[in-house]
Amino acid sequence: MPDNPIDPSEIGEGDAPPVAEAPYKIIFEANKCIAAGKCAEVSANWEMDITTGIAKPTVYFFDESDLAHNVDAAEACPAKKDRGVIHVVDRRTNEEIAPDPDGSGALSVDW
């Protein structure tokens, strides 16, 4: 049986709160983080880990009240030639809200 690629929209869904409570999620390509810290500058949800030098979110699933600053973090990320490694996804539609470099809503993860 061939290995199928991971569908990024399914990441974390097994442990997620109900969509009605937290309609947005973050998919973070930590292996491509360049430790610029831009996300932590613009979002209270992002912290720099002193031991690794890599940022990490404090929560991965959230509601509308935390949407704007997480979008700001995704758009501020300079990794992947400014395409970013922080992806904010609407769990109701599986569309990428940010950074959405292609403007299509398709997830822009590279794995």
Domain boundaries of the chain, sorted by first residue: 17-98
- The model's pLDDT over 1-34, given as tens digits with 9 standing for 90+, comes to 446 666 666 777 788 999 999 999 999 999 999 9
| pLDDT at site 111 | 72
101: burial class by Cβ within 10 Å (0-12, 13-18, 19+)?
A: middle
Cβ neighbour number for residue 78 with a 10 Å cutoff: 14
Residue 32 identity: K
| Averaged pLDDT, 32-56 | 93
| pLDDT at site 5 | 62
- The model's pLDDT over 63-105, given as tens digits with 9 standing for 90+, comes to 999 999 999 999 999 999 989 999 999 999 999 999 998 999 9
Topology classification of domain 17-98:
Alpha-Beta Plaits (3.30.70)
Torsions phi, psi for 5 (to 5 deg): -65, 150
| 8 A C-beta contact, residue 78 and residue 38 | yes
Strand partners of residue 98: 88
| pLDDT at site 1 | 43
